[in-house]
A and B are shown apart, each in its own frame.
Chain A
């Protein structure tokens, strides 16, 4: 896909995601659609920059990382943009932005069904222990270092 097409298609898709998110934001979290539009326009703009950056900058970083990074810069305590940026994005619930991702993710699962047949129950059991291991491995080390630092 060439650069121009990618830019236009990404913008279209971001707007669709934005509309779906605004509906969820109203249904689940009682924010008005009109009052949430300026914040969503900012989000769509940052999203577009992030998607293009991920594709063009040869660091192979995910667009998700760019989106977090750009929004962090705009919202830092010493950023001149902090107040305006937070004032508008606060109208969009954090959880409302997560639900559409998982709906798309669920819908795409059907494509993986054939590969799933290669995987036996033993590997599923091992995976569950992988989840526990990575979670509590990190949590215990974090706990020890935070205690050693005197932060908790």
Chain B
């Protein structure tokens, strides 16, 4: 669940066989060679540029190699630059994008292990801050109070329910699609938030992580907030915050974010189903008439 991440569509969930099919190598080594070589080149280019940071007031815009990687990777795809540059499409055809989708889950393994090595030495601090970790899981409901009124003011109707209910990683996408149907207004709404997160989430949270200390909130609190059920968004957010945070060690920032992300992975589904969804429906009924002219 927490491994949601770009490219995994909810339709893959039920059929385990199909989800993993692209990693088969028998008779497909040419496709694999292209896909992994493209990724290797993107990684080399991204790491060669390295970490860049620019002071903005009391915060910093931090640009990490992982941000360049998601941008370069997106650009070379068969529906991006590959659609206009013919040699590029031959180098990175559609089949390589299909290989890339399940590879996200596999490539998350080294990151997960590294997070474990950061969480463990901070074990006692994390247990001590347990109440804060648990309470801030409910903070994810903040999205409803902020985003639902905006959605209604923009004139959205039932789409607003799906769009504002949560940050909409795979578990939420699955729930809303199951309950309302993927082509329902609610289903389109949740798809909007899901896809925006997939395309822009890493970049958005990478920038926000570096700038958030401007608010005066404590880096420990900001680190916990980085864990919202997406491995890549959490990493972009916490790694940027770790670069700029004052008064806490970078390892502690990463450890707190990873722990919070793990908690969201365990509880997020139930919070959406039993708290967020009833709440957003109730608020929709209350606010709908006033803000959006919903009868």
Contacts and interface: CB of A to CB of B under 8 A. Distances in A.
Contacts of A149: 128-129, 131-132
Contacts of A76: 120, 123
Given A67-B112, A95-B66, A131 B204 contact: yes
Interface in A103-129: 103-113, 115-116, 118-120, 122-129
Contacts of A98: 64-66, 111, 232, 235, 239
B98 A111 contact: yes
Contact of B97 (A64, A90, A110, A135): A110
A55 B102 CA distance: 13
A104 B228 contact: no
A34 interface: no
Given A102-B70, A108-B6, A123-B196, A61 B265 contact: yes
Interface range, A side:
35 or more
Interface string B110-132: 11111111111101100011011
A75 B121 contact: yes
Interface stretch (B53-61, B152-160, B281-289): B152-160
Interface string A91-104: 01011111111111
A10 B225 contact: no
A64 B109 CA distance: 6
A137 B143 contact: yes
Nearest to A124: B196
Given A23-B40, A77-B123, A5 B2 contact: no
Nearest to B51: A95
Interface string B73-103: 1111111101000000000101011101101
B191 to A, nearest CB: 6
Contacts, number: 465
A112 B201 CA distance: 15
B79 A113 contact: yes
B121 A137 contact: no
B30 to A, nearest CB: 14
Interface range, B side:
35 or more
B164 A109 contact: no
Contacts of B156: 122-123, 126
Contact of B142 (A12, A99, A136): A136
B224 to A, nearest CB: 4
B109 A139 contact: no
A50 B166 CA distance: 27
A141 B135 contact: yes
Contacts of B231: 64, 101
Given A14-B106, A98-B235, A138-B136, A133 B142 contact: yes
Contacts of B110: 17-18, 21, 40, 43, 47, 92, 97
B252 interface: no
A65 B198 CA distance: 20
B2 A141 contact: no
B191 A133 contact: no
B193 A130 contact: yes
A138 B74 CA distance: 30
A67 B108 CA distance: 9
Contacts of B104: 101, 104-105, 108
A111 B101 contact: yes
A94 B118 contact: yes
Contacts of A62: 1-3, 105, 265
Contact of B135 (A43, A120, A145): A145
B23 interface: yes
Interface in A26-49: 27-29, 40, 42-44, 46-47
Which A-B residue pairs are the 8 nearest by beta carbons? A137-B142, A106-B73, A71-B116, A67-B112, A123-B192, A47-B109, A110-B77, A28-B47
27 contacts: A13-B106, A17-B109, A23-B43, A64-B105, A65-B2, A67-B112, A68-B113, A68-B258, A73-B116, A77-B121, A86-B117, A89-B113, A90-B117, A96-B47, A98-B65, A98-B111, A102-B232, A106-B73, A112-B6, A112-B195, A126-B150, A129-B146, A129-B164, A130-B193, A142-B136, A143-B221, A146-B221
